[in-house]
Amino acid sequence: METAVELIDAHKSYGSVEALRGVNVAIRRGELMAMLGPNGAGKTTAISLMLGLRKPSSGTARLFGLDPTDRRARSRSGVMLQESGINGALHVRELVDLFSAYYPHPMPVDRAIALAGLEEQARMQANKLSGGQRQRLYYALAVCGDPEVLFLDEPTVGMDVESRRSFLDSIRAFAAEGKTVVLTTHYLEEADELAERIVVVDRGLVIADASPAEIKAKVAGKRVVFDTDAPLTEDDFRGMPVNHLELRGGHVRLLSNQPEPVLGALFRRGVEIRNLEVVGADLEEAFLALTSHGDGAGAGQPAHVTEEVAG
């Protein structure tokens, strides 16, 4: 199948900061791909290279086989960027009209407005829109050229639950027409809900590239924290589904997809624990499993053990 978007051994440095350190990604036409990673992982930089907004320090970026700055390639892509601006004095409809003029075969303006759910705001000045409506306006501007590939950089930021849901439905409908979607997010659920492929980026590298189910199996879902007087060592956790373990004196902190069997095993051994807390791991923690663990293959071995002396 034809490749729509491609980064080949892409490096990008801003001064001494290495934002990307050799990224290889090929996105086929019709794919719905989510790029997932914590803030500062390099997602926005990767999208900027794919769009030709930035030039790779080394390596190559390709859009439909062309240089991404080529107008012929850009005429087939639509984009929603973080923190970009529009002339807020214009009405929603006037802006969609303007952006449609950039493209050779735009869709009818009313259709783009309807896809973004902005029919009632069509005659409103863009400055007067709420945060969520503004995001939807950017979506209308991204799709109005009837593009084949859509780049969405953190599109649901600032949306409430309701508009987020209907927004994700619009993206699904767009993808259902056989179009390509490249989306960045730092919400695992969003990537899971939407994408058929998740590329996990961390510190400028792709650390996983797989289906949502495979990714979820690799990242830790829960954080377990407790205190104990029992002299636990990392050996006590061997064979348990633990992704990340920290032992600091009597304070234990671990990440796991299956906290119940871990705690069950500890209880059966008669380990007395206090101040037990089991909560959903945040994304940074969930990624610890992947980042510190390369393949992240086994649930059998503790992924990573940090032993520090308290104080």
Partner 1 sequence: MSTAVASQPSFDVAPALRIVGAQARATLLGYWRMPTFVIFSMALPVMFFLFFGLPYAHQTLPDGTSIGALIMGNLGAYAVSSILVFNVGIGRAQARGQKIDLLQRAMPLPGWVVIAADTIGAMVLALISLVVLFLFAAVAGGIHLSAEDWVTLSVRSLLGALPLLGLGLAIGYGSGPNAAPAVANLIYLPMSFASGIFIPLSSMPDFLQKLAPYLPTYHYAQVVQHGLAPSTAESLGTAILWLVVWGVILFAIAIQLYRADVARKFS
In sign, the C-alpha dihedral spanning 190, 193, 195, 200 is positive
90, HSE (Cβ side, Cα atoms, 13 Å):
13
Listed ranges 95-103, 116-124, 269-277, 290-298: which one lies at the site for partner 1 (CB under 8 A): 95-103
85 near partner 1, rule: CB under 8 A: yes
Structure-token pair, residue 253: 């902190």
Q: Does 64 bind partner 1 (CB under 8 A)?
A: yes
* Torsions phi, psi for 284 (to 5 deg): -55, -45
Residue 53 binds partner 1, judged by CB under 8 A: yes
For the segment 19-48, give every residue that binds partner 1 (CB under 8 A). 29-30
Q: Which member of 60, 102, 238, 267 binds partner 1 (CB under 8 A)? A: 102
> How many CB atoms within 10 Å of residue 34?
26
Query: How far is Cα 1 from Cα 26, in angstroms, rounded to an integer?
Result: 11
Stretch of 19-27, 177-185, 219-227, 250-258 lying at the interface with partner 1 (CB under 8 A): 177-185
Part in contact with partner 1 (CB under 8 A); list of ranges 32-40, 116-124, 173-181, 254-262: 173-181
- We find the least distance from the C-beta atom of residue 163 to partner 1, in angstroms, to be 21
DSSP result, 3-21: EEEEEEEEEEEETTEEEEE
For residues 216 and 299, is the Cβ–Cβ distance under 8 A? no
Q: Is 123 in the site for partner 1 (CB under 8 A)?
A: no
Binding site residues, partner 1, CB under 8 A:
29-30, 51-55, 64, 71-72, 74-76, 79, 81, 83-90, 94-95, 97-99, 101-105, 125, 138, 141, 145-146, 148, 177-179
